[in-house]
Structure 1
Amino acid sequence: MRAIAWDMDGTLVDTEPRWGIATYEMATLMGVDLTPEQRAVTVGGTAEHTISTCLEFAGQTPNPELIDTWKTWFFARMGEILSEGFDFRPGFPALLHDIHDAGIPQALVTNTARALVDHCLPVIGDEFFATSVAGDEVPRGKPYPDGYARACDLMDVNPDDVLVIEDSPTGMSAARAAGCRVLGVPVEPGLELPEGIKTLHELRGVTSFAPRDGHPWRIDDFQELWNEL
């Protein structure tokens, strides 16, 4: 293991519920009240995917002009929501600090657009990351491998030397397609994970990186997880 790449929403920060707020509101404006099952289809996807999915559930046919119109609304609403603050997932940002101090390069790879990533990075700690790749900076977002492949190139490491930590099936598929080792940390209940993906709960019996019995996670813990994937 020569580097670690992290997803952002739902993995490092507890922003998935906030994305849910904007998604439900947008769908209502489109004329449909999403069910939780329908909302789950959008988890981890790009803004374009989320908008197209909501349009289809609303009985409308997505087209580039319509998607761009809703994207403007969606990004503006998410900017408002994120400006109100957000919570970290358990164990962060202290864990990022410890891994950084151990000399292991870290990347942030997200489907979120750069304009919204820049709302979050200063709070998360952009000094911890060797690089970050936003969803609108690659030709194809997750579940395609472009983001993780780009991060590996920027860190000058082979994908098979990189541990990726993801909460969504979309992101897990992207990381695996890029050739990285993948550890799942799903937060949303009932998500169907890609076949063969191992989770933190499966390997350690916990669902987050909160300190265990008062002991924080260390880089050796991640090396052990790496060896089991």
Structure 2
Amino acid sequence: MTSSISVADTRMAHGPAPRAVLLDLDGTLVDTEGIWWAAEAAVFADLGHVLDDEHRSVVVGGPMSRSVGHLMSVTGTTATLGELTVSINERFEQLIERGAPLMPGARRLLTELAAYGIPTALVSASHRRTIDAMLRTLGPEHFAFTLAGDEVTRTKPHPEPYLTAAARLGADPAACVVVEDTPTGVASAEAAGCQVIAVPSLVPIESGPGRTVVGSLEELSVPFLRSLNTRIH
């Protein structure tokens, strides 16, 4: 289910802008979910295991420890979590050396948020080294800061990442809008008390209280966010 309110319908919206916009990275701003799966599949293939596509929906959007732990369980590999994590991250970085494709509307949205002076932060479950590799394509100048999964004690779906990001910006989580693409990320943002815009990638997400579901970042704009604030408050 997606929002029935289009960008065109919100151009005259006069609600307050969000205090901050907090954005997920993989599958939200950068089209990397397929690349992560390719990296995981390649590493496990090197160990003699073929990953069935049915496991993609289980590992998408989650922390590396959960995703790799699940794949270890279904394959019975003797490799350790630490070894696999290093290998998958290295393979992923090799695959995005020439750049990672942005999701439709991502660059335009970031440019518009900057033009309106709305503080923006990147909140990802990926590790710092991996985020920095993708920022070469995305552009670090678009964000007040970026927060990696290995820089918090508990990553998504725990609320700590979004609570930490809001605190660093001096913002009430309830005044922040989070943009996410997976149920894991949505759960983290909602547990932190943030408003959520979901742009589902591989796994469907239903709309709900305090949550708006759209089909693409191309539907988002600052007027849209203002109208969202008006409808929620």
TM beyond 0.5: yes
User: Structure 1 unaligned runs (5+)?
Assistant: 202-206, 212-216
Alignment match of 2:176 (pick from 162, 173, 181): 162
Alignment match of 2:53 (pick from 3, 27, 36): 36
Counterpart of 1:7 in structure 2 is: 24
Q: Does the CA contact (< 8 Å) of 1:173 and 1:194 recur in 2? A: no
Cα-Cα RMSD: 2.0
Q: Does the CA contact (< 8 Å) of 2:104 and 2:216 recur in 1? A: yes
Counterpart of 1:204 in structure 2 is: none
Map residues 1-229 of structure 1 onto 2, 5 A cutoff. 1-60=18-77, 66-188=80-202, 191-193=203-205, 196=208, 198-201=211-214, 207-210=215-218, 217-229=220-232
Shift of 1:173: 0.5
Q: Does the CA contact (< 8 Å) of 2:43 and 2:88 recur in 1? A: yes
What SS is found at the alignment partner of 2:179? strand
User: Structure 2 unaligned runs (5+)?
Assistant: 1-17
Q: Does the CA contact (< 8 Å) of 2:199 and 2:217 recur in 1? A: no
Q: Does the CA contact (< 8 Å) of 2:31 and 2:100 recur in 1? A: yes
Distance 1:78 1:167 in 2: 20
Query: How many pairs align?
Result: 214
What SS is found at the alignment partner of 1:183? strand
TM-score normalised according to structure 1 size? 0.86
Shift of 1:45: 1.0
Shift of 1:31: 4.4
Equivalent residue letter for 2:43: M
Q: Does the CA contact (< 8 Å) of 2:23 and 2:180 recur in 1? A: yes
Shift of 1:32: 3.5
TM-score normalised according to structure 2 size? 0.85
Q: Does the CA contact (< 8 Å) of 1:30 and 1:55 recur in 2? A: no
Cα distance, 1:24–1:226 mapped onto 2, change above 3 Å? farther
Shift of 1:35: 2.3
Equivalent residue letter for 1:223: R
Cα distance, 1:171–1:194 mapped onto 2, change above 3 Å? farther
Distance 2:218 2:204 in 1: 24
Q: Does the CA contact (< 8 Å) of 2:99 and 2:137 recur in 1? A: no
Distance 1:154 1:101 in 2: 21
Select the structure with the greater relative contact order (CA < 8 A; seq sep ≥ 6): 2
- Among all aligned residue pairs of Structure 1 and Structure 2, give the percentage whose two residues are the same amino acid: 34
What SS is found at the alignment partner of 1:116? helix
